[in-house]
Amino acid sequence: MGTRILPAFYLALPESYVMPKILSMLVALVVFTSSVAAITEISSLKSIINDVNAQTLVVLDIDNTIFEPQQVRATDQWFCAMFEHACNNGYGYQEAVAKVLPFYIDAHADTKVTLVESCGVSVINDLCEKSLAVIALSARSLPMIPHTKRQFKDLGIDFTRSNVGHVRTDFTLNCGPVKFLEGVTYCGNNDKGETLLRVLDRLNLEPQKIIFVDDKEKNLKCVERSVARRKIPFIGKRFAACDAKVKAFVLDEKSKALIHPPKKVVQPLTPVSMAG
C-alpha cells in the first residue's frame, strides 16, 4: 500500500494540532467498532455470564433456548414444519398460521417441558442477580400465556425476580397484540426488534448494553437492527444446543393429514347465448 496523503487543510495546520486530532479520531473509531458486536454462536447460557454487569439487559428466547416441550406437537420445529406444509398446500402466510396454531396451542395444554440445560434455572437466577434486568422475549402469542406460566412454574423459573418482573404492559404492533407479563414478552408474529424497543419504552429501561440469546438468527438480526437505532451496544448469541434435534426433525404423515388443501371456489358458468 502507498503512503496515505492527509487532506490539504490538515497540511496547513501545525503538527501540534493535527496529531491529537488524528489520535482522537482513531480512539472514536475503536470505541465505535467495539460497540458493534457480531452475532456469535453459543451452546450454553453460562457463556454469557461474564459479559453481564449491573447495567446490562439480558433478553432470552424461550423455546429451544430455555426449555423444550416433551410432546412433539408442542415443539417449535413441529410448528415450523407444519406452517411450511400448509404454505406448500396453497395457504397464504396468515391462513397457514391460523390453520396450524390451534393444534399447537392444544398440544401445550397438557405437555410438560424439559430444560435445554440442566443448569438453566441457576444460570437465570444468577443473571437476575447480576444484571439490570432479565426478560424473556418469545414469539408465543397471547393464548399461550397460561400454558407458559405453568411451564415456567413447573421448572422453578421466575422472571419476577428481575427488577422489572412485576411490571405489566400491553400494546399493539403491525402484526397484532403484545403483552409483557411477569417478565415475559409475548409478541406473536411481531418483529422481535420492534417489540423490544417498545418494551424498553414502556418499562423506562435505559440499558448500557443488551445481550439477546435466541436459537434463530433472523430474530437476532431483527433485534440487532432495532437496537442499533438507539445506539445501544448489542451482543447477539445464537443458541445452538438444540440444532441437531431441529435439523433431524421430520414431520409425520399423521400431522400432515391435519392440513387439507384449501377448497377451490368454483365460479358458476355464465350461460352463453347462441342467438345471432
Q: Which of 221, 175, 178 is nearest to 200 (CA)?
A: 178
pLDDT at 1: 46
pLDDT at 270: 59
Q: 38-68+116-256 adopts what CATH topology?
A: Rossmann fold (3.40.50)
**Per residue in 214-267, pLDDT tens?**
999 999 999 999 999 999 999 999 999 999 999 999 999 999 999 988 876 555
The DSSP-derived string for 128-189 is: HHHSSEEEEEE---GGGHHHHHHHHHHHT--GGGSTTTT--EEEEETTEEEEEETTEEE-TT
Per-residue pLDDT of the chain (276 residues; tens, 9 = 90+): 444 444 444 445 555 544 555 555 544 444 444 444 579 999 999 999 999 999 999 999 999 999 999 999 999 999 999 999 999 999 999 999 999 999 999 999 999 999 999 999 999 999 999 999 999 999 999 999 999 999 999 999 999 988 898 999 999 999 999 999 999 999 999 999 999 999 999 999 999 999 999 999 999 999 999 999 999 999 999 999 999 999 999 999 999 999 988 876 555 555 554 444
pTM of the predicted protein model = 0.82
- Per cent of the chain over pLDDT 90 is 79
Q: Could you tell me if 136 and 183 are in contact, meaning their C-beta atoms sit under 8 angstroms apart?
A: yes
Q: How far is CA 137 from the centre of its chain?
A: 6
**Rounded CA separation 62/68 (Å):** 8
pLDDT at 3: 46
pLDDT at 261: 82
The DSSP-derived string for 181-245 is: ETTEEE-TTS-HHHHHHHHHHHHT---SEEEEEES-HHHHHHHHHHHHHTT--EEEEEE-TTHHH
